[in-house]
Structures are given as C-alpha cells and as structure tokens.
Amino acid sequence: MSTASAKLLAGEDFASDDDLVNDWPSGANQRLENEDASVVPPVRLRLASSKPNRKRQRLHRISSCTAFVFASMACFLGIFLGLLLVLAANEKCNTQLHNDSSISVAEKRVKNISSECPTYPWPELRLPTSVEPVKYTLTIRPNLTTFVSTGNVDIDLNINSRTDLIVLHAHGLNVTSYQITVDGTHINAQKENCEFLGQLAFKLSNAVNQGEKVQLSIRFVGQVSDDLVGLYKNTHYSSDGSKSYSAVTQFEPTDARKMFPCFDEPAFKAVFQVSIERERRHTSKANMALQKTDIVDGQIEVDHFAPSVKMSTYLVAIAVFDFANVTEMTKHTTHPIRVSIHANQDMIKGKADLALETAIKGLEYLETFFKVPFPLEKQDLLALDDFAEGAMENWGLITFRDSLLLYDQNRSTTRSKEMIATVVVHELAHQWFGNLVTMKWWNDLWLNEGFANFIEYFVTDRIFPDWKLMDQFYVENLLPGLFLDGMTTSHAISVPVHDPAEIGGIFDAISYQKGASIIRMFMGLSGEEPFKLGLQEYLEHYKYQNAEGSDLWEILQKHIPSMGDVSLIDVATAWTTQVGYPLVQARLENSGTTLVIFNQTRFLSLIDERTDDRMAHKWPIPIIYKTDSTMQSKTVWMKGNNGRNLNVILPTPAKWVIANADGSGFYRVLYDQAIYHELAKQLKLDHTALSAVDRAAVLYDAFSFVKSGHLRLETLMNLLAYLESGKETDRAPWVVVLGQLRQIEDLIEDPDMIDTFQAYERRLVAATYSNLGWELTESHSDRQLQAEMVAFVCRLELQDCVQSALIRFSDWLVDNSS
Ligand code: BES
Ligand code: ZN
C-alpha cells in the first residue's frame, strides 16, 4: 500500500495528488486524467438487458470476470483501483449476458418460420395493414375452479385494400369455431395458425374489397394461466391460511393475444365492448364502467361493460375477484371521476388512503396540466398479490403489486410512501401519455415510459411539494441512465425492435431513466410554460391516435422556436437517435476569466471499448454553467459540428465552475486538476456553495471517472473528504456515495482488506450518522436518508448503531405495533 493511500484510509491528512501517480496498477487503468485513447472493436448496437425499473433495480452479481481481475491485484491501492476496474468489467459481463449473438432475435425467428410453420401464408412478424379492426365485441368466461377460459369475439373489420387474407394474433388459444361475413353474407375461409409466430390467418375463398364491411367471429378456449401474463391467476393467502383466487390480465407489451384473438399491435386501435361471465360471489371489472348485469342462472352472472374509447390492445384489461374497495369522487375535474382502490379484504383496511388521495389529486392535476379531460367515468386501482411488474396503466383499470399501492401509516417506510405516490402518478400520467396518444410502434416506447417517468416526479412534486422530489431526480434517473448508457451494450432511446422478446428487452433504464432525463433537459431549456403548451397541443392533435417522436418534436418546436441558435428538432433528434452521451472536459484559463469546454466524445466506462468511432458521435450540448462568483446558471451551446473547443468569457474571475448545473444535461463533465482541487476545498469550507444535486453529480462523475480510468483515485478521495465533518445531510450526495462505496465493498473478498475499507467507510459516515440520529424527523427526505444511513452504518457494525437497533428490536418484540 502506498503511504498516501494508507494515510487516507487511516484518516491522516491528504498529501498532494502528485504523490500518488505511481500507485496506479500496471495495465489499462494506468491512464491518467484527461487521457482517453484506446483501440478496440467497433461499437455494435446491442440491446441493453438490465431490468428496467428503478423501483426494483437488479443487483449485479459477481461473476467469474471478477475473480480473474481480483487475482491480479497486489497492494491495497492496487486492489482498490482494481476493484473499480472489476466493477466496470463486472458491469460489462452483466450487461452482455443476453447479447452474445450477432443475429437478432427477430431475424432468427423469421429464418425459422418456414420450418416451424411450412404452410403458413404470412411469414412475417408484423401484421399486414390491408385489414384493420374497428370494434371488438368480446365475451370472456374465466373459470376460477377449472382455470379454463372460454370466449367468443366478433371483430368488425375495415378493409383498407383488396385482399384474400386476414391475419391477426392468437397465442396458446384453441379456436373451436369461426365465421366470416361480408356485408352480412357468410364467406368460406380456411384457417391456418402459426403458434411459433403467435398468429392466426384466414385465407378467404374470395377476395374482399376496400370499403366492404367484414365481420370475423371466433370462439376459442384458453386458460387462466400461472405465468403472470395474458389472463392469469392471482392467489391470495389469508391470515387464517385459506386461499382465494382471482383472474386478472397483464397484456403489455404483446400478451393480449394470449387471452383473445386480436390485432395485437399498438397502432391497431379499436373500440372494445367487453362482457364477463363470472360466479355470483365474484365482482368483475374492465376498462370501462359497468352497464348492466344479466343473471344466467342462480350462481352465474354476466357483466356488460360500456364500449371503450378507441384504444390499443395492450391496454385492455379485465379482472374477476372478491376484493373490498374504498371509493371517492374527484371534485376538480371536468366531470366527476369515480376513483376506487380494490384489494383483498384483509389487506385494504386503513391502507388505501394514500393511494386514493394521490389518485384524486393526480387526476385533477394532470387534467388541468394536459388540458384534455379524462374520458372515462371511473378509474379503478387494483392491488394484486401476484404481479410481474410494479404497476400497469390499463385504461381505467390500473393494476399494482400490493406493496406499491397499500400504505400502512404505522408500519410502512417513508420510501414506500414515496414509491406508492410516484407509481400512482406514473400510471395516471400514462392515461394521457400512452393511452390517449400511443406510440406507433414499440421503437418509441420511451415516449410512453420516459414521459411517465418524468411526470411522476414533476407532478408528485406539485402534489406533495414538501417531499422535494425533484431533488431526487438526479440520483434516481440520471445516475442509472448514465450508468447503463456508458456501456457499448446500450441502445439509442428510439430503437428498432421487431420480436416480442426484443420489445420486452427495452423496458430498461434507457427508455425510462434516460428518457425522463432528456425530457427534463428539454423542459429546462425551453421553460415550463412553452413546453406545457406544446404537450397540450400534441395530446389534443393526436388523441385516440398514434404518434412517433418526430410528431412531438414538430409540435414542441412551434412553441419553442429557438433555444439559443439551435432548433429543438435538431437537439431532440441527436439525443434520441444516438446511443450514449457525451463526456466533456472543462478548465479555467486566463486567471479564471475564461471557461474552456473541450473534447466532446462519447463516454464509455471501459477503456477497451473506446474506439475512434466514438468521436463520430456528436451532440448539441447545452453547457449550463455556474461558478463560485456567479451562482445564477447560464447556458451556452457546444454544437456537434463547429469545432471542439468552446471558450466562454466569464464576467468575474472564477476559482471553480460547475459545467452541468443541477445535473440538467444528460452528460458527464471531467474537470481539470485545478478545478477539482478548488471544488474539494470549497466542499470542506462550505459545501452548500454547491447545490445538493451539484454535489451529487460531481461525486458520481468522479466515481465513474475513476472506474473508467479518467481520474486518479486520490482526486476522488480528496472530494469525499468533506463528508467526514458530518455537515453533509442532503440525501442526493449520500445516495451516490453510499451506493458507490457499497458496490466497491461488495467486490472485496480478502477479509483484511474488508476491515481496512470498512474503517475508511466508517470514517466518512460516522459524523453524519450521529447528526442524523434515530429520532423521527419531520422532513420527508431526511427520514429517508436516516433509514439509508442507519442501514449502512449498522452493516458496518458501528457500536452505537448496533446497540440502538437492538434496543428497538427488543421494544418491537414486546409491542409489535411499534
Ligand atoms: N407500462 C409499464 C408496465 C410494464 C413494464 C409492462 C414492463 C410491461 C413490461 C408501467 O407503466 C411501468 O412503467 N411500471 C413500472 C413501475 C413504474 C412506476 C416505474 C414497473 O412495473 O416497473
Ligand atoms: Zn410506465
């Protein structure tokens, strides 16, 4: 171990950065600050495979890559730096698990159609557009004893061009009979199905012409499955040990075809008129309000629901259950909307208030913000025991895993309170962004998910302003987005997908977190009011239709004609169609009177992946800067095409600069040594001279640059040193630091090394831990930080923490309502 590193870890004063240059282990990581040349294979577009959602981000498992790199580390600093390398290598191993083939899933499937379905007349993944559905009249009978589901559907079809083939989706369904009529007259047709494609084709004896009225009627048998997709079984275990079943649906992205034959692509919008047969003891729900119930015999009833608004198949939903509910009407909407929370009787008591309050306020806020009335009479929110996702925005019938809907005032955590509110708002935002206006095809999934993710913060912040949710935007969106997008395994926000397996793969940090981050960046650049007016026009113009990214940009551009001298369309196109994001470097010259921004290149975590073609990526980058002498941020553009250096003359000389103020832009900034030195000094002197988000961003970038070999470890440790004083009590920087330290520690195998590293961690956190303490504070974000800090510190076995935890645990054993 070098003396300087040993001193740092032992808590002694920090020597100068220069002392440490020779501590770098041999090999790739030896590259120092501001140097980033390398030679390796071309960047290939591969789909990122990490699980999407920020609510349940996957843990990275340590792989054999880890073990290999470990073996080569010798001294402590070597090991520490090695760990950072391992982390990066490990990230690569994880993100590449599903990407080891050069031929896409879609290409493979298309290649195999002729052997799997030799006589099938439509060997394509996408449906033909010659026929489109107008209205489905669907009756479905999910039997909760046999778990068989039978149904019949009449589909009114529009003929767009003369054809003798009707092709639609059906997967795992047994068609028992069918009939096709043209202007009311029966016509012969031959049925072919290709289970491999999840399709059904009807070859007509005579072609049908444009404008003719065709009806396709199909009877079918399917199942109430066990696999959480299509129409599936939800099992509730009561506290008395008894079991009860319900039937629910999860169709997004491509599983409506498992419940009923349909044109299962988002652009085939139609009206759905649904009837559900059920036992008398059950209730049923669908997207629309109940119109009437027929009694079939003593125990069987059929519920008939109102015809739906025009919508895509992936948003259709039904549910059959015996839940209880809590209901309230909205007051400040165009018409009163009946909002109900449904959950099992023994789960719902006293736990629905938060979701109900958020749903009502959310609907009221969103209706006013988007200026398009919510078109349905009711909005049901359903808590499920068995649910693959976090929540799903089915129009009028939103489904949730129960832990993301039910809040227990006395027992649930502050984090859980925040998650419930944000998830409810997220799914409500989809009722406009996604349901009313839907992406034409899944390549623009981010239009749904990026917007819903942005709005979930923006609107929850308006409904519960004292939670200061926008302060957490950086660590919950930019952090995971920048992480995933710093790999060659990432993909552009707008990405070509064809096969259902590929579609499932893009519900990831790029569509969600990067999508939300660049929307926040655009709104910041254009101003809230013009941006809002643009969104309103977009929703009004495309309601009940489909749109793509460019449709949105064109409308927004009308409201935001210029941002400096760059156009919104150019900016938006660059940021949504190119994979990755830029790394820019910043330094101060001429005695601090000139800010120089230079070297726009794509940031890639792994040195081995940095080929020259990353220079080909160019973005118009809004450099949003502030300095120690001018705290009001200003924006200048570093354009992709006008040379590489940008010189900004500052009105007053600066010691340090923040070049991406409040993490407003989706990029990283690497400062030169002099700036880092001043920043570290500033943090020690008065950290509040930088905003909490600025502190989080500088630290997160610094951790990432050490891992990527752009920055010396000592510079990072020098920045971190201010934490020891215990004055940092904002959550954002701590989320970065605790998360990054934890990741590093998880990779240490050598027990001595763990001890040394933990001693260093204890030193960083101890004072803040004792300042925060255990007593409940009023502030929402302090409470979250308290919990996170206690968890971190107790894991480090700090005596005070362990003792306090044990006392509370004994109290809880005596009185478990505490
Ligand atoms: N539309 C998604 C649900 C979804 C996710 C369907 C993946 C199919 C595949 C929904 O709006 C959503 O984003 N849910 C999140 C929770 C959300 C608050 C981030 C989820 O399920 O993780
Ligand atoms: Zn969503």
- Residue 445 Cα, ligand 2 centroid: separation in angstroms? 9
CB 393 less than 6 A from any atom of ligand 1? yes
Find all residues with CB under 8 Å of 370, minimum gap 6, and list them.
432, 535, 536, 539
- Closest ligand to C-alpha of residue 405 is 1
Q: Give the mean pLDDT of 357-379.
A: 98
Confidence grade of residue 643 (pLDDT, cut at 50, 70, 90): low
Where is pLDDT greater, at 43 or 5? Answer: 5
CB 434 less than 6 A from any atom of ligand 1? no
Res 325: pLDDT: 98
Question: In a 10 Å sphere around its CB, with 0-12 CB exposed, 13-18 middle and 19+ buried, how is residue 99 labelled?
Answer: middle
Res 644: pLDDT: 66
Pocket test for ligand 1, best of 56, 258, 392 (most atoms within 8 A of CB): 392
> Based on C-alpha coordinates, what's the Rg of the chain?
29
Give the Cα separation of 292 and 305 in Å (integer).
7
Is-contact 583 603, C-beta < 8 A?
yes
Over residues 724-769, the pLDDT tens digits come to 999 999 999 999 999 999 999 998 999 999 999 999 999 999 999 9
Confidence grade of residue 565 (pLDDT, cut at 50, 70, 90): confident
Find all residues with CB under 8 Å of 97, minimum gap 6, and list them.
49
One-letter amino acid for residue 354 of the chain: L
Pocket test for ligand 1, best of 50, 53, 312, 420 (most atoms within 8 A of CB): 53
Structure tokens at 593: 């009177």
Beta-bridge partners for 178: 218
Structure tokens at 706: 């050490």
Res 81: pLDDT: 52
CA 127 to centroid of chain Cα atoms: 28
Res 68: pLDDT: 31
Structure tokens at 7: 């001193």
Atom 13 in ligand 1: which residue has the minimum CA distance?
Answer: 449
One DSSP character per residue, 544-563 reads TEEE-HHHHHHHHHHHS--B
Could you tell me which of 653, 649, 700 has the C-alpha nearest to residue 678? 653
- Residue 774 Cα, ligand 2 centroid: separation in angstroms? 35
* End-to-end C-alpha distance for the chain, whole angstroms: 48
Residue 430 labeled ligand binder: yes
Distances (CA, A) of 556 to 147, 531, 670, 812: 49, 7, 32, 55
Closest ligand 1 atom to residue 390 Cα is: 21
- Residue 330 Cα, ligand 2 centroid: separation in angstroms? 23
CB 265 less than 6 A from any atom of ligand 1? no
CA angle (418 as vertex; 415, 424 as ends), nearest 5: 135
Give the Cα separation of 802 and 472 in Å (integer).
28
Question: Residue 573 pLDDT more than 70?
Answer: yes
Beta-bridge partners for 223: 148
Question: Residue 69 pLDDT more than 70?
Answer: no
Q: What percent of the chain has pLDDT over 90?
A: 79
Structure tokens at 506: 């893009």
Is-contact 398 339, C-beta < 8 A?
no
Question: Alpha helix locations (H) across 664-750?
Answer: 673-686, 692-708, 713-720, 731-746
Find all residues with CB under 8 Å of 73, minimum gap 6, and list them.
25, 79, 82, 83
Closest ligand 1 atom to residue 54 Cα is: 19
Give the Cα separation of 458 and 362 in Å (integer).
11
- Residue 393 Cα, ligand 2 centroid: separation in angstroms? 7
Closest ligand 1 atom to residue 449 Cα is: 13
Lowest-pLDDT choice from 83-97, 383-397, 617-631, 758-772: 83-97
Where is pLDDT greater, at 547 or 32? Answer: 547
Closest ligand 1 atom to residue 453 Cα is: 19
Confidence grade of residue 609 (pLDDT, cut at 50, 70, 90): confident
Question: Residue 556 pLDDT more than 50?
Answer: yes
Atom 20 in ligand 1: which residue has the minimum CA distance?
Answer: 390
Atom 15 in ligand 1: which residue has the minimum CA distance?
Answer: 390
Residue the block writes with tokens 């609510």: 55
Question: In a 10 Å sphere around its CB, with 0-12 CB exposed, 13-18 middle and 19+ buried, how is residue 274 labelled?
Answer: buried
- Contacts made by residues 529-532, CB under 8 angstroms, sequence distance 24+: 530/559, 530/560, 531/556, 531/559, 531/560, 532/369
Is-contact 390 401, C-beta < 8 A?
yes
- Residue 54 Cα, ligand 1 centroid: separation in angstroms? 10
Structure tokens at 664: 């407003």
19 SS3 class:
helix
> Torsions phi, psi of 91, nearest 5?
-60, -40
CA 424 to centroid of chain Cα atoms: 14
- Contacts made by residues 535-542, CB under 8 angstroms, sequence distance 24+: 535/370, 536/370, 536/371, 536/372, 538/437, 539/370, 539/371, 539/372, 539/432, 539/433, 539/436, 539/437, 540/371, 540/372, 542/437
CA 315 to centroid of chain Cα atoms: 18
Pocket test for ligand 1, best of 51, 250, 316, 389 (most atoms within 8 A of CB): 389
CA angle (236 as vertex; 230, 237 as ends), nearest 5: 150
CB 390 less than 6 A from any atom of ligand 1? yes
Res 642: pLDDT: 52
Could you tell me which of 717, 808, 799, 805 has the C-alpha nearest to residue 762? 799
Q: What is the mean pLDDT of the chain?
A: 88
- Residue 756 Cα, ligand 2 centroid: separation in angstroms? 43
The DSSP H or E segment spanning 482 is helix 479-485
CB 662 less than 6 A from any atom of ligand 1? no
Residue the block writes with tokens 């031929």: 103
Question: Residue 18 pLDDT more than 50?
Answer: no
State the number of CA atoms in the 13 A half-sphere of 406 facing the CB: 21
What pTM, to 2 d.p., does this model score?
0.89
Question: In a 10 Å sphere around its CB, with 0-12 CB exposed, 13-18 middle and 19+ buried, how is residue 154 labelled?
Answer: middle
One-letter amino acid for residue 204 of the chain: L
Question: Residue 814 pLDDT more than 60?
Answer: yes
Residue 98 labeled ligand binder: no
Question: Residue 420 pLDDT more than 60?
Answer: yes
Task: Please state, as a whole number, how many other Cβ atoms lie within 10 Å of the Cβ of residue 801.
Answer: 22
Residue 449 labeled ligand binder: yes
One DSSP character per residue, 329-349 reads E-SSSSS--EEEEEE-HHHHT
Res 111: pLDDT: 84
Atom 17 in ligand 1: which residue has the minimum CA distance?
Answer: 423
Beta-bridge partners for 595: 588, 648
Res 51: pLDDT: 34
CA angle (663 as vertex; 658, 665 as ends), nearest 5: 100
Over residues 248-282, the pLDDT tens digits come to 999 999 999 999 999 999 999 999 999 999 999 99
Res 45: pLDDT: 21
Q: Give the mean pLDDT of 559-570.
A: 87
Give the Cα separation of 515 and 492 in Å (integer).
10
What order of strands is seen across the sheet that includes strand 283-286?
Answer: 230-237, 243-250, 318-321, 283-286
CB 252 less than 6 A from any atom of ligand 1? yes
Question: Residue 430 pLDDT more than 50?
Answer: yes
State the number of CA atoms in the 13 A half-sphere of 295 facing the CB: 5
Which residues have a catalytic role annotated? 427
Over residues 777-808, the pLDDT tens digits come to 889 999 999 999 999 999 999 999 999 999 99
One-letter amino acid for residue 145 of the chain: T
Strands (E), 124-229: 131-142, 148-159, 163-169, 174-182, 185-187, 189-194, 199-208, 213-223
- Residue 449 Cα, ligand 2 centroid: separation in angstroms? 5
Confidence grade of residue 217 (pLDDT, cut at 50, 70, 90): very high
CB 655 less than 6 A from any atom of ligand 1? no
State the number of CA atoms in the 13 A half-sphere of 356 facing the CB: 18
CB 508 less than 6 A from any atom of ligand 1? no
Give the Cα separation of 209 and 718 in Å (integer).
75
Residue the block writes with tokens 């726009």: 600
CB 516 less than 6 A from any atom of ligand 1? no
CA 473 to centroid of chain Cα atoms: 12
Is-contact 510 87, C-beta < 8 A?
no
One-letter amino acid for residue 797 of the chain: E
Whats the size of the chain, residue-wise?
818
Q: Are strands 131-142 and 271-279 parallel, antiparallel or unpaired?
A: parallel
- Residue 800 Cα, ligand 1 centroid: separation in angstroms? 40
Could you tell me which of 729, 730, 698 has the C-alpha nearest to residue 716? 698
CB 55 less than 6 A from any atom of ligand 1? yes
Residue the block writes with tokens 């354009």: 639
One DSSP character per residue, 220-277 reads EEEE-BSSSSEEEEEEEE-TTS-EEEEEEEE-TTT-GGGTS-B--STT--BEEEEEEE
Res 128: pLDDT: 98
CB 427 less than 6 A from any atom of ligand 1? yes
Structure tokens at 813: 């054993």
Q: Give the mean pLDDT of 221-236.
A: 98
Res 818: pLDDT: 67
> What does the DSSP 8-state code read for residue 315?
G
Q: Are strands 437-439 and 545-547 parallel, antiparallel or unpaired?
A: parallel
One-letter amino acid for residue 457 of the chain: Y
Give the Cα separation of 265 and 262 in Å (integer).
9
Give the Cα separation of 102 and 44 in Å (integer).
9
Give the Cα separation of 175 and 685 in Å (integer).
74
- Closest ligand to C-alpha of residue 253 is 1
Confidence grade of residue 680 (pLDDT, cut at 50, 70, 90): very high
One-letter amino acid for residue 579 of the chain: V
For helices 713-720 and 76-95, the axis angle rounded to 10 degrees is: 100
